[in-house]
Amino acid sequence: MSSPTSPVQLARDNSGDSESRKRASSDDVEAKRAITVDTHDVFSEEESGVDPVYQAKARLLNDAFQEIGMGKYQQWYLFIVAGFGWFSDNLWPIVTGLILDPVVNEFGFQGPFLKLGQNIGLLVGAAFWGVGSDVWGRKWCFNITLFITGVFAIAAGGSPNAIALCSLASVWSVGVGGNLPVDSAVFLEFIPASHQWLLTVLSIWWAFGQLVGSLVAWPLIADFSCASAADCPRESNMGWRYFLYTMGGLMMLMFVLRFFVFHMYESPKYLMGRGRDEEAVEIVHKVARYNGRTSSLTLEMLKDVERTHGGSNGVDEKPALDTSAKAAVLRKLNMFSGVHVKSLFATRKLAYSTTLLIVLWAFIGLAFPLYNGFLTFFLALRGAHFGDSSLYITYRNQVIVSVIGVPGALLAGWMVELPYLGRKGTLAISTLITGVFLFASTTARTSNAFLGWNCGFTFASNIMYGVLYAVSPELFPTKSRGTGNAIVASANRVFGIMAPIIALYADLSTPVPVYVSGALFLVSGLIALLLPFEPRGKASL
């Protein structure tokens, strides 16, 4: 665009008293609208499937945050507290893996049932909180997910039997499952479009979640656990309980930091969607002041949009924005409307790309928890096979594996920008290597060799996940990106539920689950090579 003037600034320059604004010609209003739309991907209201008033107001809010730019609120504080969600999302699947061996020794049940309860809770949480944030607001859901996780994890530490533990793991996972849907929405709704790449950088917190969990588990479980299931009373097996108390307490600390220390503002888009335009504008100005900036957004600008699109002047017959809770839920569910789903398959090439992405997320959603969710169990099992059954060595090795994963998450951000490699090449190679390392681990004849192969697996899989989370939104059409993300995430969670079911029938003491997981990674790597689009250096569709 030739003019550097922002749409918000242009609206301010043309603003006067309310009477003069009412006398502004429709041509002037349409001109301002056209300039605003030019800063976004343009498509018709019919194609968008979104309430036209909501859509137009959301664009104004986007422009306002672009005008404010990055600052303390978004760049540091929100990045940290939103990162807690990524931290939790990877920590808790690791937690159940870390406590699997001692709880099986104490309660004498089939360990995959614990993972099954957890994965069901993750699926429910992802669906429930994504919609709930549009009903009760981002702020409350943003805080309460960590609170639920912490409270029920602490309660799980006192579980008298396996049924209680599996049930509480399912409930705490309802909180965990809501972190990414809610936290990503909060983060994206406060940062300017020019800095949305920071959403990818948040994945570093995901790697830290596994590392911190492993570091804490190492002394607690290694020093306060039974040596075997033959003689394992509660008083001799308190390590996993101490671990749950500690991790649950950490979630409560994060909740306190979010709720009482960080001053979280309600999302302006949520407020606008519920008809609270004045509060939405007020929040925008508060964020601007927090960052030492100013904003030219005014309430009258939002009212102009409503008059133009909503028919409040009696000329336009389009309905005004519905601000009820029901309408807020319908706007969320409208992502799955026929219009949005069809647009993901609008052309043969796009349909091919969408189908491959769904299959890719599903296969990885099954392969990763099938192995990584039982990694500590495998480490202990192979350690015993090699004559090294020390719990200290098992959890030390888990820490080493977790440390190796951190640079993998960082390396992914560099590799995707390399010529000839890009997103598709990095995803394919890292996924294939992940599968290769799994198959190679079955050839290990010493404990150290097995540890080495698992370090390679974790390093490669962290690159894989870092690229997968970033590349998928880039390969969906802008107007249906939310729908595409929701579909692939659902496929990932549903297939994740299948992982412990397979583990129940495929004995974990055999290499069968490892072979299944490795094969799925290899197939997924080949699928990534078949993706028809390479988004490196190009604008999203």
Which regions of the chain carry the CATH code 1.20.1250.20? 337-541
Q: Rounded to the nearest 5°, which phi and psi values hold at 493? A: -70, -40
Which ranges of 108-197 would DSSP assign to H, the alpha helix?
A: 112-135, 138-156, 162-177, 179-190
What pLDDT shows up at residue 25?
38
pLDDT tens figures, 445-469? 888 888 899 899 989 988 888 788 7
pLDDT tens figures, 322-364? 666 676 666 666 666 666 678 788 888 888 989 999 999 999 9
pLDDT tens figures, 197-210? 676 677 788 889 98
Torsion of the alpha carbons at 95, 497, 408 and 202, rounded to the nearest 10:
-80
Q: Rounded to the nearest 5°, which phi and psi values hold at 93? A: -60, -30
Tell me: pLDDT of 531 over 50: yes
Q: Token digits for 121?
A: 């809770």
Q: Token digits for 465?
A: 């996940």
pLDDT tens figures, 28-49? 333 333 333 333 432 334 433 4
Q: How many CB atoms lie within 10 A of CB 261?
A: 10
Q: Token digits for 55?
A: 């859509």
Query: Do residues 12 and 37 touch, judged by C-beta distance below 8 A?
Result: no
- Identify which of 444, 457, 468 has the alpha carbon closest to the alpha carbon of residue 371: 457
User: How far apart are alpha carbons 186 and 188 in whole angstroms?
Assistant: 6
Query: Cα 318 from chain centroid?
Result: 36
Tell me: pLDDT of 416 over 60: yes
Residue 83 amino acid letter: G
Does 382 or 141 have the greater pLDDT score? 141
User: How far apart are alpha carbons 112 and 221 in whole angstroms?
Assistant: 19
What pLDDT shows up at residue 328?
64
pTM for this entry: 0.75
Fold of 337-541: Growth Hormone; Chain: A; (1.20.1250)
pLDDT tens figures, 80-104? 999 999 899 889 988 998 898 899 9
How much of the chain, in percent, has pLDDT values that exceed 70? 77
